[in-house]
Structure 1
Amino acid sequence: MQYENIKMAHFIVRDNRFICHCQLIETGEVVIVHVKNTGRGKEVLLKGALVALHYQPSPKRKTDYDLIAVKKAEMWINIDSQLPNKLAYEGILTGKIKLPHFPGKLASLKREVTYGNSKFDLFATSDTNAAAFIEVKGMTLENKGVGAFPDAPTLRGLKHVKELQAAFHAGYYAYILFIVQFEQISQATIHTAMQPQLAENFTLAIADGVEVLAYNCKVEPNQVTVKGQVPFDVTYPFVDPN
Protein backbone atom coordinates (compact mmCIF):
# COMPACT_ATOMS: atom_id res chain seq x y z
CA MET A 1 0.00 0.00 0.00
CA GLN A 2 1.47 3.31 -1.13
CA TYR A 3 0.32 6.71 0.13
CA GLU A 4 0.84 9.88 -1.88
CA ASN A 5 1.23 13.39 -0.46
CA ILE A 6 2.49 12.51 3.01
CA LYS A 7 3.17 15.40 5.39
CA MET A 8 5.21 14.96 8.55
CA ALA A 9 3.92 16.53 11.75
CA HIS A 10 3.98 16.43 15.53
CA PHE A 11 0.91 15.23 17.40
CA ILE A 12 -0.66 17.77 19.76
CA VAL A 13 -3.96 16.49 21.14
CA ARG A 14 -6.83 14.15 20.32
CA ASP A 15 -10.15 15.95 20.61
CA ASN A 16 -12.30 12.82 20.26
CA ARG A 17 -12.30 9.43 18.53
CA PHE A 18 -12.23 10.98 15.07
CA ILE A 19 -10.40 14.31 15.32
CA CYS A 20 -7.00 15.48 16.53
CA HIS A 21 -4.71 18.49 16.12
CA CYS A 22 -1.17 18.25 14.74
CA GLN A 23 1.57 20.75 13.88
CA LEU A 24 3.11 20.45 10.42
CA ILE A 25 6.90 20.25 10.57
CA GLU A 26 7.40 21.98 7.22
CA THR A 27 5.36 25.12 7.94
CA GLY A 28 4.61 25.08 11.69
CA GLU A 29 0.88 25.31 10.91
CA VAL A 30 -1.51 23.62 13.35
CA VAL A 31 -4.06 21.59 11.40
CA ILE A 32 -7.21 19.62 12.19
CA VAL A 33 -6.74 15.95 11.32
CA HIS A 34 -9.05 12.96 10.89
CA VAL A 35 -7.91 9.97 12.95
CA LYS A 36 -8.37 6.85 10.80
CA ASN A 37 -8.71 4.53 13.80
CA THR A 38 -11.31 4.61 16.56
CA GLY A 39 -9.10 2.61 18.95
CA ARG A 40 -7.68 4.34 22.00
CA GLY A 41 -4.02 4.48 20.94
CA LYS A 42 -3.03 6.05 24.26
CA GLU A 43 0.45 4.54 24.22
CA VAL A 44 1.38 6.13 20.87
CA LEU A 45 -0.74 9.27 20.46
CA LEU A 46 1.37 11.31 22.84
CA LYS A 47 2.00 15.04 22.69
CA GLY A 48 5.02 15.68 20.47
CA ALA A 49 4.99 12.26 18.79
CA LEU A 50 6.15 12.20 15.17
CA VAL A 51 3.21 11.36 12.89
CA ALA A 52 2.53 10.93 9.19
CA LEU A 53 -0.46 12.74 7.71
CA HIS A 54 -2.07 11.84 4.39
CA TYR A 55 -2.90 15.12 2.64
CA GLN A 56 -6.12 14.80 0.63
CA PRO A 57 -7.71 18.23 0.11
CA SER A 58 -11.33 18.18 -1.03
CA PRO A 59 -14.34 20.48 -0.62
CA LYS A 60 -16.33 17.39 0.42
CA ARG A 61 -14.09 16.73 3.43
CA LYS A 62 -14.18 18.42 6.83
CA THR A 63 -10.39 18.23 7.03
CA ASP A 64 -7.65 17.88 4.43
CA TYR A 65 -5.56 15.48 6.52
CA ASP A 66 -5.76 11.89 7.73
CA LEU A 67 -3.52 10.58 10.51
CA ILE A 68 -2.20 7.26 9.19
CA ALA A 69 0.99 6.47 11.12
CA VAL A 70 2.82 7.33 14.32
CA LYS A 71 6.40 6.67 15.35
CA LYS A 72 6.93 4.76 18.61
CA ALA A 73 10.61 4.83 19.58
CA GLU A 74 12.34 3.67 16.36
CA MET A 75 9.30 1.88 14.91
CA TRP A 76 6.49 3.21 12.73
CA ILE A 77 2.98 1.94 13.50
CA ASN A 78 0.31 2.35 10.85
CA ILE A 79 -3.12 3.11 12.34
CA ASP A 80 -5.19 3.30 9.14
CA SER A 81 -8.14 1.02 9.94
CA GLN A 82 -9.02 0.69 6.24
CA LEU A 83 -5.61 -0.72 5.36
CA PRO A 84 -5.77 -4.31 6.77
CA ASN A 85 -8.57 -5.42 4.44
CA LYS A 86 -6.70 -4.14 1.39
CA LEU A 87 -3.47 -5.84 2.43
CA ALA A 88 -5.28 -9.09 3.25
CA TYR A 89 -7.07 -9.15 -0.10
CA GLU A 90 -3.91 -8.51 -2.11
CA GLY A 91 -1.84 -10.84 0.08
CA ILE A 92 -4.18 -13.79 -0.35
CA LEU A 93 -4.53 -13.19 -4.09
CA THR A 94 -0.77 -13.12 -4.61
CA GLY A 95 -0.06 -16.02 -2.26
CA LYS A 96 1.91 -13.89 0.19
CA ILE A 97 -0.67 -14.78 2.83
CA LYS A 98 -1.39 -18.51 3.10
CA LEU A 99 -4.63 -20.09 4.29
CA PRO A 100 -3.53 -23.28 6.11
CA HIS A 101 -5.39 -26.49 5.26
CA PHE A 102 -7.49 -24.76 2.56
CA PRO A 103 -7.54 -27.43 -0.17
CA GLY A 104 -6.74 -26.80 -3.82
CA LYS A 105 -5.82 -23.60 -5.60
CA LEU A 106 -7.55 -20.28 -4.99
CA ALA A 107 -10.33 -19.86 -7.55
CA SER A 108 -12.02 -16.66 -6.35
CA LEU A 109 -11.81 -14.08 -3.59
CA LYS A 110 -14.73 -11.78 -2.83
CA ARG A 111 -15.06 -8.87 -0.42
CA GLU A 112 -17.79 -8.39 2.18
CA VAL A 113 -19.93 -11.51 1.94
CA THR A 114 -22.84 -12.04 4.34
CA TYR A 115 -23.30 -15.24 6.32
CA GLY A 116 -25.90 -15.53 9.06
CA ASN A 117 -26.05 -12.20 10.86
CA SER A 118 -22.52 -11.12 9.94
CA LYS A 119 -20.79 -9.67 6.92
CA PHE A 120 -17.31 -11.14 6.71
CA ASP A 121 -14.44 -9.29 5.07
CA LEU A 122 -13.45 -11.98 2.56
CA PHE A 123 -14.90 -15.14 1.02
CA ALA A 124 -12.59 -17.55 -0.83
CA THR A 125 -13.31 -20.55 -3.01
CA SER A 126 -10.91 -23.11 -4.43
CA ASP A 127 -10.74 -25.28 -7.52
CA THR A 128 -11.79 -28.22 -5.31
CA ASN A 129 -15.07 -26.44 -4.42
CA ALA A 130 -13.91 -25.63 -0.89
CA ALA A 131 -15.13 -22.32 0.54
CA ALA A 132 -13.81 -20.15 3.35
CA PHE A 133 -14.84 -17.08 5.30
CA ILE A 134 -12.01 -14.80 6.42
CA GLU A 135 -12.45 -12.04 8.97
CA VAL A 136 -9.64 -9.46 8.94
CA LYS A 137 -8.57 -7.48 12.00
CA GLY A 138 -5.94 -4.79 12.31
CA MET A 139 -3.51 -5.01 15.23
CA THR A 140 -1.87 -1.76 16.39
CA LEU A 141 -1.28 -2.33 20.12
CA GLU A 142 2.29 -3.33 21.04
CA ASN A 143 4.40 -3.71 24.17
CA LYS A 144 7.89 -5.23 24.41
CA GLY A 145 7.57 -7.05 21.10
CA VAL A 146 4.14 -8.52 21.84
CA GLY A 147 1.16 -7.43 19.77
CA ALA A 148 -2.37 -7.64 21.13
CA PHE A 149 -5.97 -7.19 20.02
CA PRO A 150 -8.09 -5.30 20.89
CA ASP A 151 -7.00 -1.96 22.34
CA ALA A 152 -10.65 -1.20 23.12
CA PRO A 153 -13.60 -3.58 23.77
CA THR A 154 -15.29 -4.77 20.56
CA LEU A 155 -18.81 -6.17 20.42
CA ARG A 156 -18.40 -6.64 16.66
CA GLY A 157 -15.41 -8.87 17.27
CA LEU A 158 -17.36 -11.06 19.69
CA LYS A 159 -20.12 -11.50 17.14
CA HIS A 160 -17.75 -12.39 14.30
CA VAL A 161 -15.95 -15.10 16.26
CA LYS A 162 -19.25 -16.83 17.08
CA GLU A 163 -20.48 -16.54 13.49
CA LEU A 164 -17.22 -18.04 12.20
CA GLN A 165 -17.74 -21.01 14.51
CA ALA A 166 -21.20 -21.48 13.05
CA ALA A 167 -19.83 -21.26 9.51
CA PHE A 168 -17.17 -23.87 10.32
CA HIS A 169 -19.80 -26.26 11.67
CA ALA A 170 -21.80 -25.71 8.48
CA GLY A 171 -18.89 -26.98 6.40
CA TYR A 172 -16.94 -23.84 5.56
CA TYR A 173 -13.30 -23.20 6.35
CA ALA A 174 -13.02 -20.29 8.77
CA TYR A 175 -10.13 -17.93 9.45
CA ILE A 176 -9.40 -14.86 11.53
CA LEU A 177 -6.52 -12.93 10.00
CA PHE A 178 -4.68 -10.29 11.99
CA ILE A 179 -2.75 -7.75 9.95
CA VAL A 180 -0.15 -6.48 12.41
CA GLN A 181 0.40 -2.86 11.41
CA PHE A 182 3.99 -2.73 12.65
CA GLU A 183 7.13 -4.78 12.08
CA GLN A 184 8.86 -5.58 15.37
CA ILE A 185 6.80 -8.37 16.90
CA SER A 186 7.69 -11.77 18.33
CA GLN A 187 4.20 -12.87 19.43
CA ALA A 188 0.57 -11.94 18.72
CA THR A 189 -2.19 -12.54 21.25
CA ILE A 190 -5.56 -11.42 22.61
CA HIS A 191 -5.67 -8.62 25.17
CA THR A 192 -7.47 -10.73 27.75
CA ALA A 193 -7.47 -8.04 30.45
CA MET A 194 -9.19 -5.64 28.05
CA GLN A 195 -11.93 -8.09 27.05
CA PRO A 196 -11.97 -11.48 28.84
CA GLN A 197 -15.03 -12.66 26.91
CA LEU A 198 -13.25 -12.18 23.59
CA ALA A 199 -10.32 -14.31 24.76
CA GLU A 200 -12.76 -17.00 25.85
CA ASN A 201 -14.55 -16.90 22.51
CA PHE A 202 -11.26 -17.19 20.64
CA THR A 203 -10.25 -20.19 22.75
CA LEU A 204 -13.53 -21.96 22.02
CA ALA A 205 -13.41 -21.10 18.31
CA ILE A 206 -9.84 -22.37 17.93
CA ALA A 207 -10.76 -25.59 19.73
CA ASP A 208 -13.64 -26.01 17.27
CA GLY A 209 -11.43 -25.56 14.19
CA VAL A 210 -11.40 -21.85 13.38
CA GLU A 211 -7.83 -20.91 12.43
CA VAL A 212 -6.19 -17.69 13.61
CA LEU A 213 -3.35 -16.16 11.60
CA ALA A 214 -1.17 -13.09 12.14
CA TYR A 215 1.06 -11.35 9.59
CA ASN A 216 3.28 -8.41 10.39
CA CYS A 217 4.12 -5.52 8.07
CA LYS A 218 7.09 -3.38 7.16
CA VAL A 219 5.83 0.13 7.84
CA GLU A 220 7.15 3.43 6.55
CA PRO A 221 5.37 6.80 6.68
CA ASN A 222 4.26 6.49 3.04
CA GLN A 223 4.19 2.73 2.52
CA VAL A 224 3.10 -0.54 4.15
CA THR A 225 4.06 -4.02 2.93
CA VAL A 226 3.04 -7.41 4.31
CA LYS A 227 6.19 -9.09 5.61
CA GLY A 228 5.45 -12.57 7.00
CA GLN A 229 3.55 -14.77 9.43
CA VAL A 230 4.17 -14.37 13.16
CA PRO A 231 3.13 -16.74 15.99
CA PHE A 232 -0.31 -16.34 17.54
CA ASP A 233 -1.21 -17.75 20.98
CA VAL A 234 -4.45 -16.71 22.65
CA THR A 235 -3.02 -17.58 26.08
CA TYR A 236 0.20 -15.59 25.76
CA PRO A 237 0.33 -12.90 28.50
CA PHE A 238 0.18 -9.26 27.46
CA VAL A 239 1.05 -6.32 29.68
CA ASP A 240 -0.93 -3.21 28.78
CA PRO A 241 1.50 -0.28 28.36
CA ASN A 242 -1.17 2.25 29.32
Structure 2
Amino acid sequence: MKYEHIQLAYFLERKNRFVASCRLKESNEIVDVHVKNTGRGKEVLLPEAVVALNFLPSTKRKTAYDLIAVKKQNHWYNIDSSAPNEVVFSALLNQTIVLPGLNGNINLVKREVKYGQSRIDFYFETDKKEKGLIEVKGMTLENKRVGAFPDAPTARGLKHVRELIHAQEKGEHCYVVFIAQFANIDVATIHEKMQPELKDTADTAIKKGVQFLCYACHVNATQLEITKEVPFDLEASFCDPLE
Protein backbone atom coordinates (compact mmCIF):
# COMPACT_ATOMS: atom_id res chain seq x y z
CA MET A 1 0.00 0.00 0.00
CA LYS A 2 1.63 3.23 -1.19
CA TYR A 3 0.46 6.81 -0.75
CA GLU A 4 1.51 9.27 -3.41
CA HIS A 5 0.64 12.68 -1.92
CA ILE A 6 1.88 12.69 1.65
CA GLN A 7 2.42 15.83 3.72
CA LEU A 8 3.68 15.78 7.30
CA ALA A 9 1.80 17.60 10.03
CA TYR A 10 1.30 17.83 13.79
CA PHE A 11 -1.83 16.42 15.37
CA LEU A 12 -3.84 18.95 17.38
CA GLU A 13 -7.18 17.46 18.37
CA ARG A 14 -9.84 15.01 17.33
CA LYS A 15 -13.09 16.87 16.79
CA ASN A 16 -15.17 13.72 16.37
CA ARG A 17 -14.79 10.12 15.16
CA PHE A 18 -14.16 11.22 11.58
CA VAL A 19 -12.49 14.65 11.71
CA ALA A 20 -9.32 15.92 13.36
CA SER A 21 -7.44 19.20 13.34
CA CYS A 22 -3.75 19.23 12.32
CA ARG A 23 -1.03 21.82 11.67
CA LEU A 24 0.92 21.35 8.45
CA LYS A 25 4.63 21.04 9.13
CA GLU A 26 5.75 23.04 6.10
CA SER A 27 3.34 25.99 6.20
CA ASN A 28 1.93 25.94 9.78
CA GLU A 29 -1.55 26.07 8.25
CA ILE A 30 -4.22 24.47 10.44
CA VAL A 31 -6.43 22.10 8.47
CA ASP A 32 -9.28 19.69 9.14
CA VAL A 33 -8.53 16.12 8.07
CA HIS A 34 -10.51 12.90 7.66
CA VAL A 35 -9.50 10.26 10.22
CA LYS A 36 -9.57 6.95 8.36
CA ASN A 37 -10.22 4.92 11.49
CA THR A 38 -13.20 5.05 13.84
CA GLY A 39 -11.30 3.42 16.73
CA ARG A 40 -10.33 5.51 19.74
CA GLY A 41 -6.61 5.92 18.85
CA LYS A 42 -6.01 7.82 22.09
CA GLU A 43 -2.69 6.13 22.77
CA VAL A 44 -1.20 7.43 19.49
CA LEU A 45 -3.20 10.52 18.52
CA LEU A 46 -1.59 12.79 21.09
CA PRO A 47 -1.23 16.59 20.81
CA GLU A 48 1.77 17.53 18.64
CA ALA A 49 2.33 13.95 17.46
CA VAL A 50 3.82 13.84 13.95
CA VAL A 51 1.24 12.52 11.46
CA ALA A 52 1.16 11.71 7.76
CA LEU A 53 -1.64 13.25 5.72
CA ASN A 54 -2.57 12.12 2.22
CA PHE A 55 -3.60 15.13 0.14
CA LEU A 56 -6.63 14.21 -2.01
CA PRO A 57 -8.62 17.37 -2.75
CA SER A 58 -12.04 16.99 -4.39
CA THR A 59 -15.27 18.91 -4.62
CA LYS A 60 -16.99 15.76 -3.34
CA ARG A 61 -15.01 15.76 -0.08
CA LYS A 62 -15.47 17.82 3.07
CA THR A 63 -11.73 17.73 3.76
CA ALA A 64 -8.73 17.67 1.43
CA TYR A 65 -6.63 15.37 3.61
CA ASP A 66 -6.76 11.83 5.00
CA LEU A 67 -4.86 11.10 8.21
CA ILE A 68 -3.23 7.76 7.45
CA ALA A 69 -0.30 7.35 9.88
CA VAL A 70 1.07 8.66 13.17
CA LYS A 71 4.48 8.49 14.83
CA LYS A 72 4.75 6.93 18.30
CA GLN A 73 8.18 6.85 19.95
CA ASN A 74 9.92 7.20 16.57
CA HIS A 75 7.92 4.35 15.00
CA TRP A 76 5.20 4.86 12.42
CA TYR A 77 1.73 3.37 13.00
CA ASN A 78 -0.63 3.21 10.04
CA ILE A 79 -4.27 3.90 11.03
CA ASP A 80 -5.88 3.72 7.58
CA SER A 81 -8.73 1.24 8.09
CA SER A 82 -8.94 0.52 4.35
CA ALA A 83 -5.27 -0.46 4.05
CA PRO A 84 -5.37 -3.97 5.62
CA ASN A 85 -7.83 -5.28 3.04
CA GLU A 86 -5.74 -3.89 0.20
CA VAL A 87 -2.49 -5.46 1.37
CA VAL A 88 -4.16 -8.81 2.09
CA PHE A 89 -5.79 -8.86 -1.35
CA SER A 90 -2.41 -8.28 -3.00
CA ALA A 91 -0.70 -10.80 -0.72
CA LEU A 92 -3.24 -13.51 -1.55
CA LEU A 93 -2.78 -12.96 -5.26
CA ASN A 94 1.01 -12.97 -5.18
CA GLN A 95 1.17 -15.67 -2.45
CA THR A 96 3.01 -13.49 0.07
CA ILE A 97 0.43 -14.93 2.47
CA VAL A 98 0.11 -18.72 2.35
CA LEU A 99 -2.90 -19.86 4.36
CA PRO A 100 -2.22 -22.91 6.54
CA GLY A 101 -4.34 -26.01 6.18
CA LEU A 102 -4.86 -25.81 2.42
CA ASN A 103 -3.70 -28.50 0.00
CA GLY A 104 -3.96 -26.39 -3.13
CA ASN A 105 -3.00 -22.94 -4.32
CA ILE A 106 -5.52 -20.12 -4.32
CA ASN A 107 -6.65 -19.42 -7.87
CA LEU A 108 -9.77 -17.33 -7.22
CA VAL A 109 -10.38 -14.45 -4.80
CA LYS A 110 -13.63 -12.49 -4.55
CA ARG A 111 -14.08 -9.42 -2.38
CA GLU A 112 -17.02 -8.45 -0.15
CA VAL A 113 -18.98 -11.71 -0.39
CA LYS A 114 -22.34 -12.02 1.32
CA TYR A 115 -22.53 -14.85 3.83
CA GLY A 116 -25.43 -15.24 6.25
CA GLN A 117 -26.29 -11.78 7.51
CA SER A 118 -22.82 -10.33 6.83
CA ARG A 119 -20.40 -9.37 4.12
CA ILE A 120 -17.12 -11.23 4.58
CA ASP A 121 -13.99 -9.59 3.18
CA PHE A 122 -12.83 -12.43 0.92
CA TYR A 123 -14.08 -15.68 -0.56
CA PHE A 124 -11.47 -17.93 -2.17
CA GLU A 125 -11.10 -21.19 -4.06
CA THR A 126 -8.02 -23.31 -4.71
CA ASP A 127 -6.92 -25.50 -7.59
CA LYS A 128 -7.80 -28.50 -5.35
CA LYS A 129 -11.48 -27.48 -5.19
CA GLU A 130 -11.16 -26.07 -1.67
CA LYS A 131 -13.31 -23.10 -0.69
CA GLY A 132 -13.04 -20.66 2.16
CA LEU A 133 -13.67 -17.27 3.74
CA ILE A 134 -11.29 -14.67 5.14
CA GLU A 135 -12.18 -11.79 7.42
CA VAL A 136 -9.48 -9.11 7.73
CA LYS A 137 -9.07 -6.91 10.79
CA GLY A 138 -6.68 -3.99 11.12
CA MET A 139 -4.77 -3.85 14.40
CA THR A 140 -3.47 -0.47 15.60
CA LEU A 141 -3.31 -1.05 19.37
CA GLU A 142 0.05 -2.12 20.84
CA ASN A 143 1.81 -2.06 24.19
CA LYS A 144 5.12 -3.67 25.16
CA ARG A 145 5.29 -5.37 21.75
CA VAL A 146 1.93 -7.09 22.23
CA GLY A 147 -0.71 -6.20 19.66
CA ALA A 148 -4.40 -6.37 20.57
CA PHE A 149 -7.77 -6.18 18.84
CA PRO A 150 -10.11 -4.39 19.21
CA ASP A 151 -9.32 -0.90 20.51
CA ALA A 152 -13.07 -0.27 20.85
CA PRO A 153 -16.00 -2.71 21.14
CA THR A 154 -17.05 -4.02 17.73
CA ALA A 155 -20.46 -5.60 17.21
CA ARG A 156 -19.58 -6.06 13.54
CA GLY A 157 -16.39 -7.97 14.34
CA LEU A 158 -18.23 -10.23 16.75
CA LYS A 159 -20.89 -10.94 14.14
CA HIS A 160 -18.25 -11.81 11.53
CA VAL A 161 -16.52 -14.34 13.79
CA ARG A 162 -19.86 -16.01 14.46
CA GLU A 163 -20.53 -16.23 10.72
CA LEU A 164 -17.13 -17.88 10.21
CA ILE A 165 -17.91 -20.45 12.89
CA HIS A 166 -21.04 -21.38 10.96
CA ALA A 167 -19.15 -21.57 7.65
CA GLN A 168 -16.39 -23.69 9.20
CA GLU A 169 -18.98 -26.14 10.52
CA LYS A 170 -20.31 -26.45 6.97
CA GLY A 171 -16.90 -27.44 5.60
CA GLU A 172 -15.39 -24.12 4.49
CA HIS A 173 -11.79 -23.17 5.35
CA CYS A 174 -12.19 -20.02 7.46
CA TYR A 175 -9.62 -17.49 8.64
CA VAL A 176 -9.43 -14.28 10.63
CA VAL A 177 -6.38 -12.33 9.46
CA PHE A 178 -5.13 -9.48 11.61
CA ILE A 179 -2.87 -6.91 9.97
CA ALA A 180 -0.75 -5.24 12.65
CA GLN A 181 -0.28 -1.78 11.14
CA PHE A 182 3.10 -1.42 12.80
CA ALA A 183 6.37 -3.33 13.06
CA ASN A 184 7.21 -3.63 16.77
CA ILE A 185 5.15 -6.70 17.70
CA ASP A 186 6.02 -10.15 19.03
CA VAL A 187 2.55 -11.60 19.60
CA ALA A 188 -1.09 -10.69 18.91
CA THR A 189 -4.20 -11.33 20.97
CA ILE A 190 -7.78 -10.30 21.67
CA HIS A 191 -8.23 -7.30 23.98
CA GLU A 192 -10.30 -9.18 26.55
CA LYS A 193 -11.02 -6.22 28.84
CA MET A 194 -12.31 -4.19 25.91
CA GLN A 195 -14.67 -6.93 24.71
CA PRO A 196 -14.81 -10.16 26.76
CA GLU A 197 -17.51 -11.63 24.50
CA LEU A 198 -15.20 -11.38 21.49
CA LYS A 199 -12.51 -13.39 23.26
CA ASP A 200 -15.04 -16.06 24.21
CA THR A 201 -16.33 -16.20 20.64
CA ALA A 202 -12.80 -16.37 19.24
CA ASP A 203 -12.06 -19.25 21.61
CA THR A 204 -15.10 -21.11 20.29
CA ALA A 205 -14.09 -20.35 16.71
CA ILE A 206 -10.56 -21.70 17.21
CA LYS A 207 -11.91 -24.88 18.76
CA LYS A 208 -14.19 -25.30 15.71
CA GLY A 209 -11.21 -24.95 13.37
CA VAL A 210 -11.29 -21.26 12.36
CA GLN A 211 -7.67 -20.12 12.11
CA PHE A 212 -6.52 -16.78 13.53
CA LEU A 213 -3.42 -15.31 11.91
CA CYS A 214 -1.49 -12.06 12.33
CA TYR A 215 1.03 -10.31 10.09
CA ALA A 216 3.31 -7.44 11.05
CA CYS A 217 4.06 -4.61 8.64
CA HIS A 218 6.81 -2.23 7.72
CA VAL A 219 5.31 1.23 8.02
CA ASN A 220 6.53 4.68 7.13
CA ALA A 221 4.81 7.92 6.18
CA THR A 222 4.12 6.74 2.64
CA GLN A 223 3.84 2.95 2.80
CA LEU A 224 2.36 -0.12 4.51
CA GLU A 225 3.89 -3.48 3.60
CA ILE A 226 3.44 -6.94 5.12
CA THR A 227 6.78 -8.25 6.37
CA LYS A 228 6.25 -11.34 8.54
CA GLU A 229 3.76 -13.54 10.35
CA VAL A 230 3.65 -13.21 14.13
CA PRO A 231 2.03 -15.65 16.59
CA PHE A 232 -1.59 -15.20 17.59
CA ASP A 233 -2.12 -16.29 21.20
CA LEU A 234 -5.57 -15.93 22.72
CA GLU A 235 -4.07 -16.23 26.22
CA ALA A 236 -1.31 -13.63 25.76
CA SER A 237 -1.38 -10.95 28.45
CA PHE A 238 -2.14 -7.43 27.23
CA CYS A 239 -2.00 -4.27 29.33
CA ASP A 240 -3.95 -1.36 27.86
CA PRO A 241 -1.57 1.64 27.67
CA LEU A 242 -4.37 3.97 28.79
CA GLU A 243 -5.18 2.11 32.00
TM-score where L is the length of structure 2: 0.99
1:86-113 per-residue CA deviation (whole Å, 9 max, x = no partner) reads: 0111011111111101121112011011
Tell me what 1:204 maps to: 204
1:76-155 → structure 2 map (5 Å cutoff): 76-155=76-155
Specify the SS of the correspondent of 1:86: helix
- Whether 2:49 is the aligned partner of 1:53: answer no
1:161 alignment counterpart: 161
Letter in 1 for 2:60: K
The Cα of 1:240 is off from its aligned counterpart by: 0.3
1:186 aligns with 2:186: yes
Instruction: Identify the residue that residue 235 of structure 2 maps to in structure 1.
Output: 235
- CA distance in structure 2 between the partners assigned to 1:102 and 1:31 by the alignment: 48
Q: Percent of counterpart pairs with the same letter?
A: 53
Aligned with 1:96: secondary structure? coil
Aligned partners of 2:25 and 2:105: how far apart in 1? 48
**1:2-81 alignment, distance < 5 Å:** 2-81=2-81
Cα distance in 2 for residues equivalent to 1:68 and 1:41: 12
Cα distance in 2 between the residues matched to 1:5 and 1:50: 16
- The AA in structure 1 aligned to 2:74 is E
| In structure 2, C-alpha distance between the alignment counterparts of 1:122 and 1:177, rounded to whole Å | 11
Which string of whole-angstrom CA distances, capped at 9 and with x for unpartnered residues, describes residues 146-180 of structure 1?
Answer: 10000000000111111100000111000000011
Write the letter of the residue equivalent to 1:104.
G
CA–CA distance in structure 1, aligned partners of residues 152 and 59 of structure 2: 32
Question: Could you list the runs of 5+ residues in structure 2 that have no partner in the other structure?
Answer: none
Where do 5+ consecutive residues of structure 1 fail to align? Answer: none
Specify the SS of the correspondent of 1:41. coil
Q: How many residues align?
A: 242
**1-structure distance, mates of 2:162, 2:61:** 37
Structure 1 letter corresponding to 2:53:
L
Give the SS at the match of 1:101. coil
The Cα RMSD (Å) is: 0.6
Instruction: State TM-score, norm by structure 1.
Output: 0.99
Deviation above 2 Å: which 4+ runs of structure 1?
none
Cα distance, 1:121 vs. partner? 0.2
- Residue identity in the other structure for 2:224: V
Quick one: which amino acid aligns to residue 61 of structure 2? R
